[in-house]
Amino acid sequence: MKRFSEQFKKEAERVTLRTSESHDLRERVVAYMEYHPLPAEMRTVHTIVADEMLSPVRSMFFVWSKFVGAAAVLLLVIIPAAAEKALPGDVLYPVKVRFNEEVRSSLSFSTYSKVEWETERLERRLAEVRLLASEGKLTDDVGAAAAVAVAEHAAAAAQEIETMRENDDEGAAVAELAFATALEAQTDALETTISRAGVDVSAAGGVTAALSNAQAAAQADEQKPSFERLLGLVEQKTTDAQELFASLKPIAGETAKADIERRLQDIERKREEAVALATAPEENDEGGDTTVSSTTPAYDQTKARALLKEILQATEKLTLFMSDIDLSTHVSVEDLVPVEPTEEELQTILTQVQGDLDTQVKALKVRAGDEPNDGVVHGLTTIEQKMASSSEAVAGGDYEAAIVFTREAYALASDILRAFDVEEDEQPATDEEVDSEKPEDTSANSSPEASTATGASSTMATEVTDVRA
Amino acid sequence: MEGRKKTAKRMVGQEERFLEAFDTYHEALFRHATLRLSDRERAIDLVHDTYTKVWSYIKDGHTVEQFRPFLYKVLNNLIVDEYRKRREQSLDALLAVEGVDEGAFPDLQESSVESLAATLDGRKAFEALDALPREYKEVIILRFVDGLGPKEISLLLEESENVVSVRLHRALGQLRKHMAAAEEAAEVRRRLHKPKQ
């Protein structure tokens, strides 16, 4: 019974409102509540009733002003507001692109805000493409038009950046970096959507090409902007992301909330790390002693800047994930912004993989018996070497490397064990067979390192079988 | 003055309670309506209408003690109206074809519904849901998607608990038949394809 209801319910739970739909629905209901308020005696605020004498004049005026007002509201507020949601092919789409966006263009005065706005327009075209693609409605015409628009906005942004460079070199570098980051995040998102939705790529092909052209043109300068400007940009973007998250909180699901919160914590941790790296040692050392103590984190501006750029990239993608909730039904947040484990988490993982390795090695020794052949001996030596490198890495505080070594050792042990099995079954082992069956435990916490390690060690394992044969 | 303030406070509470009821139930109501109507857009509209109707009811001075049953009741009425608009066969017509009165199995209890359900694959059953007549689909959704008990369903549909149990029972039986038929069709297709390759 339980199984049936659970399966059934799980299936039914795939029918969900998109966050944007949920949001719109709430707005509509709240608007209804505002237009149909509780009767005066039920409300807290009592408005004072207008002067009786003036009421006939007022009501005449009221009727007219209401009419004209309504028409103006319709033309200037309702239609443009409704048009904001339009997609290519909708009746209101031209209003969105030619009226709303042009009005906003004319309202951006500073060069920096112009670059930002061109970036946003580019992002809007791509969001439309993704939305249509995920619904399988992307036609060649729309794809081509979007490709032209992407190229146009990218060129406009690049031009504004050049203008800016003439009198504000640093500012231009900041704008350029923000633009390049946005492009990269968009490219990633578009690629994932296309591969997930399984759409005909030909329609989106032009867009992808336009995007990679723009990306090639917008290679940000490595040495600029300065650390302070970069930190400023990071702080602005992370604050935006936090605010967006706060506004989504009431409507987002529990898992989505937990996922996003975790990513924001990762970003915050990295930011602190970067600040610590960039703080000059003499500022750290209050005693005024010029010798740099080895315990303070190394002063490394380049590394700190690289970290900040990583943060920018992650924040940009996270923001994209949050603001473009339609995307989130097709792409998991893990694809866009993977979790970054803390030191404690790394230690736990390490203990776990070490435990797995121990059991595997014990099993291997039992299988090999008292007189292991050369292949097994060679394998065991390699495993021991890897374990030694792992302990070394732990001593140096590099848990990630330690985990990689341990996983390699584990993969090797598993492969040798499997070689025994294959031999017992009297089936010649081929590389593909060994490759295709990855050990269960490594796939549970799969990382690119672990899988390449399996690939590499499987060749060793076949060597081992050769030796035995 | 003191008294009025108190009333006002209670009423502000009404607004908050109403919005809370929106946040808590709108998703479930939407799911219910979508599955019943097989039309997302229309489902959103009906959920909207449900809430505006309930709000109007509160505005007219009524108090809603429990939102969930009330919201479901309103939504259900809207869905029934929607069906009427689409003019398809009613339960009466369905029963006339089957020629059985619903009261014919007084011994059917909730426990037998459970044991029948236990033999079905939930995922495939969900896919077969659309093949069921509306009234069957309705009880299945209320029971297994919305998680309402037989009593709540009987109150909502204004039928006796017994009738609800019988209907659930038959609905599961039909689901099983549809699933078996679908499997058979798939098997035939497999066989047809094999010699070609």
Q: What's the CA gap between A261 and A280, in Å, rounded?
A: 31
- Give the mutation candidate from A25, A28, A30, A41 for the B interface (greatest B CB count, under 10 A): A25
Q: What's the CA gap between A67 and B98, in Å, rounded?
A: 59
Range name among A176-180, A245-249, A252-256 with the lowest pLDDT average: A252-256
Annotate A228-244 with b (16+ C-beta within 10 A) or e (fewer): eebbebbeebbeebeee
CB interface of A with B, residues 189-218, below 8 Å: none
Asked if pLDDT for residue B28 goes beyond 80, the answer is: yes
What residue in A sits closest to B51 (Cα-Cα)?
A: A29
Nearest residue, CB atoms, B23 vs list A11, A42, A250: A250
* Rounded mean pLDDT, A339-353: 83
* Rounded mean pLDDT, A206-219: 75
What proportion of chain B, given as a percentage, has pLDDT over 70?
75
What proportion of chain A, given as a percentage, has pLDDT over 70?
72
Tokens 């409704």 map to which residue? A82
Q: Is A28 on the interface with B (CB under 8 A)?
A: yes
* Rounded mean pLDDT, B148-161: 88
* Rounded mean pLDDT, A10-35: 87
pLDDT at B116: 65
The ipTM, to two decimals, is: 0.73
Q: Crossing angle, helix B67-86 and helix B40-59, to 10 degrees?
A: 130
- Per the CB < 8 A criterion, the answer to whether A19 and A325 are in contact is yes
- Per the CB < 8 A criterion, the answer to whether A343 and A269 are in contact is no
CB interface of A with B, residues 100-159, below 8 Å: none
Q: What's the CA gap between A333 and A261, in Å, rounded?
A: 11
Q: Do A43 and B8 touch (CB under 8 A)?
A: yes
**Residues constituting chain B:** 197
Tokens 């941790």 map to which residue? A269
A29–chain B nearest CA distance, Å: 6
- Give the mutation candidate from A1, A6, A8, A11 for the B interface (greatest B CB count, under 10 A): A8
Banded model confidence at residue A304, pLDDT cuts 50, 70, 90: confident
Asked if pLDDT for residue A203 goes beyond 80, the answer is: no
- Per the CB < 8 A criterion, the answer to whether B118 and A1 are in contact is yes
Q: Is A249 on the interface with B (CB under 8 A)?
A: no
Banded model confidence at residue B59, pLDDT cuts 50, 70, 90: confident
* Rounded mean pLDDT, B126-141: 86
A77 phi/psi in degrees, rounded to 5: -115, -55
Q: What's the CA gap between B154 and A51, in Å, rounded?
A: 55
Q: What's the CA gap between A79 and A92, in Å, rounded?
A: 8
Most confident of the ranges A21-30, A31-40, A94-103: A21-30
Q: What's the CA gap between A181 and A106, in Å, rounded?
A: 25
Q: Which residue has the higher pLDDT, B61 or A40?
A: B61
| Same fold? B2-86, B91-196 | no
Most confident of the ranges A141-145, A259-263, B48-52: B48-52
* A437-462 pLDDT tens trace: 444 444 444 444 444 444 444 444 44
* Rounded mean pLDDT, A205-209: 77
Range name among A108-122, A183-197, A270-284, B6-20 with the lowest pLDDT average: B6-20
* Rounded mean pLDDT, A276-300: 54
A296 phi/psi in degrees, rounded to 5: -70, 145
* Rounded mean pLDDT, A250-262: 77
> Is the alpha carbon torsion for B132, B136, B141, B143 positive or negative?
negative
If one counts every other C-beta atom within 10 angstroms of the C-beta of residue A210, the result is 23
pLDDT at A300: 74
Residue B95's Cβ-side half-sphere holds a number of Cα atoms within 13 Å equal to 13
- Per the CB < 8 A criterion, the answer to whether A16 and B29 are in contact is no
CATH topology of domain B2-86: Rna Polymerase Sigma Factor; Chain: A (1.10.1740)
Banded model confidence at residue A401, pLDDT cuts 50, 70, 90: confident
- Per the CB < 8 A criterion, the answer to whether B129 and B122 are in contact is no
What would the two tokens of residue B149 be? 């008990």
Q: How many CB pairs under 8 A join A and B?
A: 109
Most confident of the ranges A238-242, A301-305, A329-333: A238-242
What residue in A sits closest to B10 (Cα-Cα)?
A: A42
Asked if pLDDT for residue A162 goes beyond 50, the answer is: yes
What would the two tokens of residue A450 be? 């672990």
pLDDT at B32: 92
* Rounded mean pLDDT, B96-114: 49
What residue in A sits closest to B59 (Cα-Cα)?
A: A38
- Per the CB < 8 A criterion, the answer to whether A214 and A150 are in contact is yes
Q: Do B55 and A8 touch (CB under 8 A)?
A: no
Banded model confidence at residue A52, pLDDT cuts 50, 70, 90: very low
Range name among A35-44, A257-266, A353-362 with the lowest pLDDT average: A35-44
- Give the mutation candidate from A13, A21, A33, A135 for the B interface (greatest B CB count, under 10 A): A33
B140–chain A nearest CA distance, Å: 10
Asked if pLDDT for residue A313 goes beyond 70, the answer is: yes
CATH topology of domain B91-196: Arc Repressor Mutant, subunit A (1.10.10)
* Rounded mean pLDDT, A209-235: 75
For chain A, the domains span: 226-284+297-340, 343-468
**For residue B195, cis peptide bond before it (omega within 30 degrees of 0):** no
Q: Is A12 on the interface with B (CB under 8 A)?
A: yes
B99–chain A nearest CA distance, Å: 30
Q: Do B144 and A3 touch (CB under 8 A)?
A: no
What residue in A sits closest to B20 (Cα-Cα)?
A: A250
Asked if pLDDT for residue A101 goes beyond 80, the answer is: no
What would the two tokens of residue B73 be? 């009741």
| Chain centroid offset of residue A282 CA | 37
Nearest residue, CB atoms, B59 vs list A6, A36, A251: A36
Residues of A in contact with B59 (CB under 8 A): 36-39
pLDDT at B101: 46
Q: Is A9 on the interface with B (CB under 8 A)?
A: yes
A161 phi/psi in degrees, rounded to 5: -65, -40
Asked if pLDDT for residue B119 goes beyond 80, the answer is: no
**CA nearest to A183, candidates A123, A236, A121:** A123
Q: What are the DSSP calls for B121-178, one per residue? A: -HHHHHHHGGGS-HHHHHHHIIIIIS---HHHHHHHHTS-HHHHHHHHHHHHHHHHHH
Measured CB to CB, residues of chain B less than 8 Å from chain A are 4-5, 7-9, 11-12, 14-15, 18-19, 22-23, 26-27, 30-31, 34-35, 44, 47-48, 51-52, 55-56, 58-59, 61, 114-115, 117-118, 120-123, 125-127, 141, 144-145, 147
What proportion of chain A, given as a percentage, has pLDDT over 90?
1
- Please return the burial class of A249, using the count of CB atoms within 10 Å of its CB with bins 0-12, 13-18 and 19+: exposed
Asked if pLDDT for residue A349 goes beyond 50, the answer is: yes
Nearest residue, CB atoms, A4 vs list B34, B51, B122: B122
Q: Do A39 and B26 touch (CB under 8 A)?
A: no
Beta carbons within 8 Å of A234's beta carbon, 6+ residues apart? A271, A308, A311, A312, A315
pLDDT at B111: 56
Q: Is A321 helix (H, G, I), strand (E, B) or coil?
A: helix
Q: What's the CA gap between A303 and A301, in Å, rounded?
A: 5
For chain B, the domains span: 2-86, 91-196
Asked if pLDDT for residue A345 goes beyond 70, the answer is: yes
Q: Do B121 and A7 touch (CB under 8 A)?
A: yes
* Rounded mean pLDDT, A149-172: 82
- Per the CB < 8 A criterion, the answer to whether A380 and A412 are in contact is no
pLDDT at A423: 67
